[in-house]
Structure 1
Amino acid sequence: MHPITTSEDELFELIKQRIHTNSLCQRVLHGRGKRYEALERINIEWYPPYLFVQNFGDALPEQLRIALEHVFDALDTVEAILIQSREWPDFVTSVFASRNPLELPLIFPGMIDDGLHCEIKLGKNRNTGVFLDMRAGWFWVKAHSHNKRVLNLFS
């Protein structure tokens, strides 16, 4: 599969469509899946009302920077956009855009499924407290655990 070249307008539409009316925490873009050219080192996650961008590269790609500015300007549901630069072994989280002053880390309950909440921590650690790419696994466990207790060992 060849990577898809995306402009800032296409990125804006992709991000906007995935977060516009969604109140659930979700993975918006998994660039590390190598589907989007120039975004191979980027992950974007939506933790309403915060958009969280993980940058595993040197600099934020220009088309993404522009798309994020457009998302922030167009959607008042986005309270802030945070960028976490994650060059091993260091990481730094900064506020890209915010409607109000923020103090990091942000710690708040995030809805990951109907009636299922998890404490989200943005800016304190490398992970956020929830692994959104495991959503299919959550649904499988839910479907197979009626009247059972489940111990989550992140496996």
Structure 2
Amino acid sequence: MQASQLPIFFEHITLQLEKSSQEVRRLFHGRGRKFEGLEQITCDWVDGQLLVNLFKQADDDFLTQLKQGLLELTNQTVWRDVEGKTIVLQHRYDDGAPSEILVGDLNSKPVVVESGLKYQLDIGRNQNFGLFLDMRYGRNWVRENAKHKNVLNLFAYTCGFSVAAIAGGADQVVNVDMAKASLSKGRDNHRLNDHNLNQVKFLAHDIFKSWGKIKKSGPYELIIIDPPSFQKGSFALTKDYKKILRRLPDLLVAGGQVLACVNSPQVDCDFLINSMKEEAPQLNFVQRLKNPPEFEDIDEQASLKVLEFSY
């Protein structure tokens, strides 16, 4: 990373803060490789807190200028206008992703708002804080397409899609994820939005060993598939994704929809489109959803891919 490029970073952050609402947002996305010399840095706005993430070890000059610039930001009018409170620098490349609090006191469990819906985050303890911000348009799409539907949410994590679906009038959402702790946070997210938990199921199961339980709550009008790119011992993208796709015809009603997602730069849209043709040819590709503009990537095929299919 190049210290000489940091003025671009600060100029971009200041501009985005001036335009920002109080909703959670990515302010700077170096990982999209649109900013030369800043490819390993991101910045998020989280409930009055600026979270800066480094994904690669930087030299002392870069770190010194970065910290100095962040401290100077707190003296600007824009920082007061947005009621900024805290600045945190997280070293994502290091074991445990340690955080440095540069300004203020960290609220590690803020409740944030996205598209009018509330989510509980958990900052600092893990690399991911509980909501993938690049999936905002995907959650919005689910909200707009869930009315009166029975929804299956595979790899549910903290149930962001589920919250969006219930907010959009879904009759039921079935969330499946191996991690009980993540599903517990998902339950809390529904409570934050005053949702009726009788409409939501939380299945802490290995998807590949639980098709019987999953089918029992079907058939479904909408299925969401948003797996990790790789999870040691439980999911390998190119091998295991196809195992899910071949199950879809048995789970869907006629006219049902599927939102299939993949966030690995190693595969492009054709991986999902061709895999669907092979494993579930009854489903037709409809469209790829756009990503939020703040996540612009020099190679759109390397960025998040969210594809709609119909049965």
Question: TM-score higher than 0.5 here?
Answer: yes
The Cα offsets for residues 95-135 of structure 1, whole Å up to 9 and x where unpaired, read as 0222xxx2x56112111122x01001111211111110111
Does structure 2 retain, via aligned residues, the 8 Å contact 1:25–1:47?
yes
Structure 2 CA distance for partners of 1:11 and 1:133, relative to 1, 3 Å: same
In the superposition, relative to structure 1, how do residues 140 and 49 fare at CA in structure 2: closer, same or farther (>3 Å)? same
Name stretches of at least 5 consecutive residues in structure 2 with no aligned partner.
158-225, 227-311
CA drift of 1:142 comes to: 1.4
Q: Which runs of 5+ in 1 are unaligned?
A: none
State the partner residue of 2:12.
14
Structure of higher RCO (CA pairs closer than 8 Å, 6+ residues apart): 1
CA RMSD of aligned residues (A): 2.3
Would you say how many aligned residue pairs link Structure 1 and Structure 2?
Answer: 145
Partners of 1:122 and 1:89 lie apart in 2 by 16
- In structure 1, C-alpha distance between the alignment counterparts of 2:52 and 2:75, rounded to whole Å: 17
2:118 counterpart SS class? strand
Deviations 1:62-120 (A, max 9, x none): 5543442232221122101101101254310110222xxx2x56112111122x01001
For 2:108, the equivalent position in structure 1 comes to 106
TM-score (norm 2): 0.42
Aligned 8 A contact 1:72 1:80 in 2: no
Match of 1:80 among 68, 71, 86: 86
CA contact (8 A) 1:11 1:64 kept: no
What secondary structure sits across from 1:16 in the alignment? helix
CA distance in 1, matches of 2:57, 2:69: 18
* 1:13-54, Cα deviation, whole Å (9 max, x unpaired): 311222234111011111111111221111111102001011
Q: Is the 8 A contact 2:89 2:102 kept in 1?
A: yes
| CA shift in 2, pair 1:17/1:124, >3 Å | same
Residues in 2 aligned to 1:51 and 1:147: alpha-carbon distance in whole angstroms: 38
1:65-144 aligned within 5 A: 65-74=67-76, 75-76=79-80, 77-98=83-104, 102=105, 106-114=108-116, 116-144=117-145
User: 2:27 maps to which residue?
Assistant: 28
**Matched position secondary structure for 1:83:** strand
Percent identity among equivalent residues? 28
Equivalent runs, 1:42-53 vs 2, <5 Å: 42-53=41-52
1:96/1:30 Cα in 2 relative to 1: closer, same or farther (>3 Å)?
same
Distance 1:11 1:146, change over 3 A: same
Assess, with a 3 A threshold, how the Cα gap between structure 1 residues 151 and 52 changes in structure 2: closer, same or farther.
Answer: farther
Contact 2:51 2:87 in 1 (8 A): yes
| Counterpart-to-counterpart distance in 2, 1:131 and 1:118 | 11
